[in-house]
Amino acid sequence: MRLCARSALPAALALAAPAAFAQNQAPVLRQTFDADTEGWQAFSGRLSVTTDPALVKEGKGALKWEYNLAKGEFAFALLPTPNGALAKMKSLRFAVRTDHTTPVVAVLQEAAGGRYIALFTAPKDQWQEVALAPEDFALSDGNDDPKDPNGQLDLERVEGLGIADLGTLFAQSDDPNVQNLLKIQMGPHVLCLDSLRVTEEPLPKGDAAAGNPIDTFTRPQLSWLGFGSTRVTAASGAPLEGRGVRADYRQAPGAFVGLARPVGRGLLAGTERLTLALASLKPAKILIQLEETGGGKYNRVVDAEGASKLQKLDLAYTEFTPADDSKDANNRLDPEAVKTVLIIDLTGVFGMGEGENALWIGSIRGAK
């Protein structure tokens, strides 16, 4: 996944007034938006404070951002954080509300360094609480993204905290299939932000079981993105043993449906297998794809038995084969280079079934 603002973000940061940190660079930041926009700047669109009770999470007000999803417009809101204001950050918490279900990206921009992003899904007309640790942010690696000399997030060098509707990137595509697949709703939109705080208190680590967890499912937000007709929600309990994600969608001829999640840089280094728990309401042909930085894509197809039966899969990386559109110089799956995991229901694509289905994913990790 990449986030490309070309030169716009650095320029906006340079021009923005650092009102929130004008005097003291306190290690803990708290913003209520009860009285003003607290130093936030809109690169595109309009920022204001709303006191509408329906759009306020707590207190008297919330930050209201009115923006447009359109080709040629890059909608982005940011808070300048100069002079190492976030150097001691152990956790970032806030609540967000959008007028349509959409992937949202939180951004940490280093001075003369990399752009680090964390993705999550915001449901329509609901307050979504978000809790992020520094390790939840991954380097954005698009061709137009700034390069990071040391390849790691340096909090003392972060000069801006941003937020964007990820649809603003997909809206720039000349391929209408991209917008249809990801259900991008073009036109005017509203995003509200409230109860933002940065603290030195670490977030819970979650399951400490052996392995390298791709998702511990301990955060309040979901970092899984649905595509096609897929709607993703948090899941807990049967058919899973614990927490996970549920994907609801329609199997139909030619329908491309599924979900995807970013994988932290180097997270799977040293592992040899992918393990996960999977259950499907109906029998399904499921494609699991691991995508590398650089374009390598490797597939493994499994059969979901249906009847919401829990299956515990243990898939050796040697069982994954290159996708037709894989671009990899060594033609080999390198776990340390994996940046995205995709789970796709091929049942409709192959004309093998039709109807509503639910798919559950839990306990997904790399293992030795």
pLDDT confidence of residue 1: 47
- Chain centroid to Cα 80, Å, comes to 22
User: From residue 115, how far is each of 93, 111, 120, 133 by CA, in Å?
Assistant: 19, 9, 17, 16
Q: What is the dihedral of CA 128, 117, 213, 155, to 10 degrees?
A: -110
Q: Which amino acid is at 328?
A: D
The string of DSSP codes covering 116-167 is EEEEEEE-BTS-EEEEE-GGG-EE---TTSPP-SSSS--GGGEEEEEEEETH
Pairwise CA distance, residues 209 & 42, whole Å: 42
Whose CA is closest to 307, among 239, 233, 240, 230?
Answer: 239
Mean pLDDT by 10 residues, the chain (368 residues): 45 40 54 96 96 96 97 94 94 97 95 94 96 93 84 94 93 80 88 96 73 91 93 96 96 90 92 97 97 95 97 98 94 95 93 90 95
> Residue 170 belongs to what H/E stretch?
helix 167-170
212-367 belongs to CATH 3.40.50.300: no
8-199 belongs to CATH 2.60.120.430: yes
Residues for the chain: how many in total?
368
Pairwise CA distance, residues 278 & 313, whole Å: 7
pLDDT confidence of residue 182: 76
pLDDT confidence of residue 204: 85
Pairwise CA distance, residues 63 & 317, whole Å: 45
Q: Give the CB-side neighbour count of residue 19, counting CA atoms within 13 A.
A: 11
Task: Identify the DSSP state of 53.
Answer: G
Task: Identify the DSSP state of 252.
Answer: -
CB 295 within 8 A of CB 327: yes
Pairwise CA distance, residues 197 & 57, whole Å: 14
**Helix or strand or coil: residue 11?**
helix
Pairwise CA distance, residues 198 & 89, whole Å: 6
Q: What is the dihedral of CA 147, 150, 152, 154, to 10 degrees?
A: -100
pLDDT confidence of residue 178: 78
User: From residue 295, how far is each of 63, 107, 173 by CA, in Å?
Assistant: 38, 23, 19
Pairwise CA distance, residues 210 & 213, whole Å: 9
pLDDT confidence of residue 179: 72
Domain residue limits, the chain: 8-199, 212-367
